[in-house]
Amino acid sequence: MPRSAAPKDLSLKWLEIFQICAQKGSLQIAAEETGLTISTVSHHLRNLEDHLGVELFNHSRRPMVLTPKGRVFLRNIDDALYAIRKAKAEASAGSLSEASYLRIGTIEDFDSDIIPELAVSLSRQMPSCDFLYHTDTSHAIIDMLRNRHLDLGITTTPDDRLRDLQDRPLLRDPFVVVLPKMSEPSLSDIVEGRTKLPFLRYSSNLIIARQIEAQMRRLGLRAPSNFECSNNQTLMAMVAAGAGWTITTPLLFSRARRFQSKLAMHRFPGKAFARTLAVVATPDCSRSVLELITQKLRDLVHEHAISGQHQQNPWLADSFNLIE
């Protein structure tokens, strides 16, 4: 299209499609995420380039590669699109009763008591809203938020920065040692690998497993291990049966009620460490929705986990707490 024939007004749709193509390097992925055809996505990109009078992509390369001017343009519009999406969400949210669709992701840690109660509460406060609830690992939920497949997630905060997402820290969850209740060897002997009782691990693809392994390396701990599992209940069942010991957190321990009579929880010996759980949302998630869910979660976590653990294990009072 000649420059003179280009549309006069810059389209927000062009900018959004350009951002997706620049991030994904693929017209097909952009088409899937926007629900458009590949030819329509390509047409919008051409319109944007014609409007600006510059080439933003090297169209001879696959995957798609930004030109130097394209990289500068992307850097300049990222903050603008963030602000526009946030403003649109706040303007369109209106009252909570008017919300129409919300996609929530959560890690397994909350799905026994807390998420069911949250779902009931939200359905009452947002009666016109259609909900989607998805359970997955923290990494998967964060990826889905970045790809706009979820609106809000409850996750372990990763070591790397969340960058384009907004987060509300929720809970400080310290790491503890859990042993079979009648275990005879001392805690230090077990943790330092001087017994035959094996260490039962969380699966290495989980953030919690990486945090535990990193701390054990820092402390020079090398406990023998013959079991790895992504399911907390299975891990607690194995410890309760005397098959080994594990490192977990009070939140996860509180979920294993059926096994607790056969378990003993102890402070982690040596330097203490903890994970942080947070409510994470896309930039365009309504502030009123984010605040509602965050406050309800705080109430539920205190009721179902913190209160009981503080009563049973007073030594947790200074470390297992909501983050103000």
What is the residue-wise DSSP string for 230-292?
Answer: S-HHHHHHHHHTTS-BEEE-HHHHHH-GGGGGGEEEEEPSSS--EEEEEEEE-TTS-HHHHHH
Q: Distance between CA atoms of 265 and 95, rounded to whole angstroms?
A: 45
pLDDT recorded at residue 2? 45
CA distance 274 to 271: 10
Query: Torsion-angle region of residue 94: left (phi > 0), alpha (psi -120 to 50) or beta?
Result: left
Instruction: Note the pLDDT of residue 98.
Output: 64
In angstroms, the Cα distances linking 306 to 35, 118, 291, 309 are 44, 17, 21, 5
Q: Do 97-171+275-322 and 176-272 agree at the fold level? A: yes
Give the N- to C-terminal CA distance of the chain in Å, as an integer: 56
Distances in Å between the alpha carbon of 78 and those of 10, 82, 103, 253?
A: 16, 6, 23, 42
DSSP states of 77-123 as a string? HHHHHHHHHHHHHHHHH-SGGG--EEEEEE-GGGTTTHHHHHHHHHH
Q: Is 197 helix (H, G, I), strand (E, B) or coil?
A: coil
Residue type, 130: D
Return the structure tokens found at 65: 């590669």
213: tokens are: 């392994």
Distant-in-sequence, close-in-space partners of 99: CB < 8 Å, separation ≥ 6:
93, 126, 128, 129, 286, 289
Give the model's pLDDT for residue 85.
66
Residue 238's pLDDT is 95
- How far apart are the C-alpha atoms of 10 and 191, rounded to whole Å? 62
The list of the chain residues with pLDDT below 70 reads: 1-8, 85-99, 159-160
| Alpha carbon distance 298, 194 (integer Å) | 40
What is the homologous superfamily of the domain 176-272 according to CATH?
Periplasmic binding protein-like II (3.40.190.10)
* Chain-centre distance for alpha carbon 297: 15
CATH of 97-171+275-322, one of 3.20.20.80, 3.40.190.10, 3.40.50.300, 3.30.930.10: 3.40.190.10
All structural domains of the chain with their residue ranges = 3-93, 97-171+275-322, 176-272
Per-residue CA distances from 249 to 49, 58, 268 (Å): 53, 50, 10
**CATH class for domain 3-93?**
mainly alpha
Provide the pLDDT for residue 99.
67
